[in-house]
Amino acid sequence: MDKQTRQETIAVFHEMTSGMLRHDVTLLKQVIAPDAIFVHLNGKVESREVWLDQMRIGRMRYLDSNELTLTVTEDGTDVVIVSRSDLTARIYGFENCWHIETTTRLAQRNNAWQITRSQAQFF
């Protein structure tokens, strides 16, 4: 993977994190593909729109994120970022800090990197 691809995909990943913390749905719609899939810690699978709706109505509030590690690899034409972080959030009214590992897949769409899948699990 070339240096530019690595930098661009990490920037998109960090923009998603920033958008989550700022509850910036407009930014999130820019960096997440319309057909993206999210797999939550409990295994629940949601579309981008369902996930964004949960944020809009306040069921999912991301409060803080402390990135601990980040690795970037290629998988064919896609890029996969695996990040470990401490994520503080209020989910369905319950606030906690979770130690999560997120595997995020990015693909080129209209000459820009977009997130197409994100899966969270505990570490």
Successive 10-residue mean pLDDT values, the chain, 123 residues:
97 98 97 97 96 95 98 98 98 95 97 97 96
How far is 74 from 21, CA to CA, in rounded Å? 27
What is the model's pLDDT at position 66?
98
How far is 123 from 110, CA to CA, in rounded Å? 34
What is the model's pLDDT at position 104?
98
What is the model's pLDDT at position 37?
98
3-state secondary structure (DSSP) of residue 2: coil
**Distance set, CA 41 to CA 19, 34, 72, 99 (Å):** 19, 21, 21, 10
What is the model's pLDDT at position 13?
98
What is the model's pLDDT at position 105?
98
What is the model's pLDDT at position 10?
98
